């Protein structure tokens, strides 16, 4: 037959059980418990339980108290589950001491630790998400800055190339115009370009511009072909 658990062992350091026993004993056995100072209350509750235990029918009376507590716990803990797991001795003793120091049951203390850990994990998760979002924004900002810098560089490069092409085109135009003027002078048996009519000079200038533009176009086509052949 299983040995009954005495009041001191049953009550332990469970603050919730002690509060419940105080209310229960005050209603059923000892109304005077309501006048006990708070710092003496646990000792007074234990003394009252010991009196009931030591009475002639104390075992049965104490058994009714335990059943009442179990019924109360069941009603209160309907949304809770019972777990059975093994803890290392060191951690189990630490849980017991800490729970006793805080004046609450081991299960209550363990639940509080789980909730605190869950809150901590959620906090870490939020911090990680914020850092990740910050890193994304920083990366996007750097990418945009690089794009802007590269675009600015390309624009400057294009402007420089356009200026070089313009100068090259003007040089070609002058060379072509010079050659056309020489041909026209030989054809007319003249020595000085100023001897040519303005209309003739304007016509030669227009021809030179067209020929220079065609020369540049042919040069660009040849460069493109050479680039394609080099890539293949």
Distance between CA atoms of 52 and 29, rounded to whole angstroms?
Answer: 9
pLDDT score of 19: 84
Average pLDDT in the chain: 77
Q: What is the DSSP string of 170-206?
A: HHHHHHHHHHHHHHHHHHHT-S-GGGS-HHHHHHHHH
What pTM was computed for the model?
Answer: 0.34
The pair phi, psi for residue 14, each rounded to 5°, is: -75, 110
**CA–CA separation, 137 vs 131, rounded Å?**
10
Can you give the pLDDT at residue 126? 77
Virtual torsion, Cα 201, 207, 211, 212, nearest 10 deg: 40
Tokens of 29: 């056995």
Residue among 105, 80, 89 nearest 11 (CA): 105
Taking only the tens place, the pLDDT of each residue in 43-92 is 888 888 888 878 766 677 878 888 888 888 777 766 666 666 677 888 88
Q: Where are the domains of the chain?
A: 7-79, 123-227
């Amino acid at each position: 037959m299983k040995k009954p658990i005495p009041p001191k062992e049953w009550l332990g350091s469970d603050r919730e059980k002690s509060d419940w026993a105080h209310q229960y004993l005050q209603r059923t056995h000892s109304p005077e418990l309501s006048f006990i100072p708070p710092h003496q209350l646990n000792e007074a509750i234990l003394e009252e339980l010991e009196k009931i235990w030591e009475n002639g029918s104390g075992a049965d009376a104490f058994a009714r108290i335990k059943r009442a507590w179990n019924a109360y716990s069941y009603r209160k803990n309907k949304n809770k589950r019972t777990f059975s797991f093994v803890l290392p001795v060191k951690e189990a003793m630490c849980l017991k001491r800490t729970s006793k120091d805080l004046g609450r049951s081991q299960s209550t203390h363990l639940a509080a630790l789980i909730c605190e850990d869950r809150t901590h994990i959620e906090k870490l998760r939020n911090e990680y998400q914020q850092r990740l979002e910050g890193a994304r924004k920083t990366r996007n900002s750097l990418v945009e800055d690089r794009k802007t810098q590269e675009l600015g560089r390309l624009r400057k490069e294009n402007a420089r190339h356009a200026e070089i092409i313009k100068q090259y085109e003007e040089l070609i135009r002058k060379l072509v115009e010079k050659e056309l003027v020489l041909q026209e002078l030989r054809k007319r048996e003249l020595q000085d370009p100023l001897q040519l009519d303005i209309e003739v000079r304007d016509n030669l200038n227009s021809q030179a511009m067209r020929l220079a533009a065609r020369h540049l176009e042919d040069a660009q086509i040849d460069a493109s072909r050479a680039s394609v052949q080099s890539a293949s």
